[in-house]
A = this chain, B = another copy of it.
């Protein structure tokens, strides 16, 4: 097939070893002139190393696995881009795997990744503590870092953003705008960010001395449709809330839709907030006030951490927690600025 190290060795009248040395430019192991000659021949013949063969002996493939729920979910592309960019920067490539949050697919992919002898994997999984796929990863000794979701197991490297702080910030912002009855549409209960955000919501209310009212809290699943659904229920049965905090932007979109259909104006009648700051948050009407996560950066940091792990570097912090930030736009208004006598019921 392609030209191999052998071809160029023959043509240069040297041994395979010598060629190999110049390929991996071992500092001083070859005479400057032979090196030159070999380099030229390599260029002439259009030689490029066979990473497969190399991998077989070095046990390194320079490939990283990136397993996440769904690349077509607007939240993940930035993360993926971040890991790809930094992986590339360090000479690694990434294999993309979509799991749809299905444990089964996760396990299958982890297996495949192992078979491919990837050097490491970046993992965004539904798993809670020690799940099977984590166990597989652990015992296979392949380095990995959890991204975006925490598994709450010490010693497992992870990078994610502080969800309780994020949600707390935005709910406190709502409170500082004089809202007291703040409804909540949560995410699914199978992942840590969702849990953290709920905790942040409760913490904010607690700090402000506002009692938790479960009648204005709904369980969503991060999808637009569930935002719509939850908002509808809230509108039908919720008692006099003036604002609603959503666990992600997508659900806010659905909620917005539900309100629009009923002629409820945002933020004049009800204020709403999202979470994630995906790209559509800024183009909605009204533009959505939300919490921005440093997505791209998270991807970069996860990759960086993983690569250090792979290369056996000594690292102090195996847990990187990023801080989210509030981005104020148009969907929240002070309670005193709300339309006076509006009843949305």
Contact = CB atoms under 8 A, between A and B. Distances in A.
B50 A117 contact: yes
Contact of A96 (B73, B78, B80, B279): B80
Contacts of A2: 140
Interface string A252-264: 0100110000000
B96 A112 contact: no
How many chain copies does the complex carry?
Answer: 2
Nearest to A299: B72
Contact of A284 (B93, B95, B98, B283): B283
B116 A63 contact: yes
Given A74-B279, A81-B72, A63 B95 contact: yes
A116 to B, nearest CB: 5
A109 to B, nearest CB: 8
Interface in A108-126: 111-112, 114-117
Interface string A76-111: 111011001100100001111110000000000001
Interface string A279-293: 110011100000000
Interface residues of A, number: 49
A1 B59 contact: yes
Contacts of A76: 77
A165 interface: no
A211 interface: no
Given A51-B115, A95-B93, A117-B50, A81 B74 contact: no
Given A52-B61, A72-B80, A253 B98 contact: no
A341 to B, nearest CB: 26
Contacts of A257: 283
Contacts of A78: 72
A315 interface: no
A50 B57 CA distance: 12
A71 B84 contact: yes
Given A1-B59, A49-B115, A66-B96, 18 more contacts: A2-B140, A51-B115, A51-B116, A52-B52, A53-B56, A63-B95, A71-B84, A72-B80, A84-B96, A84-B98, A85-B98, A93-B95, A93-B97, A94-B95, A95-B95, A253-B283, A256-B283, A280-B283
A98 to B, nearest CB: 6
B71 A77 contact: yes
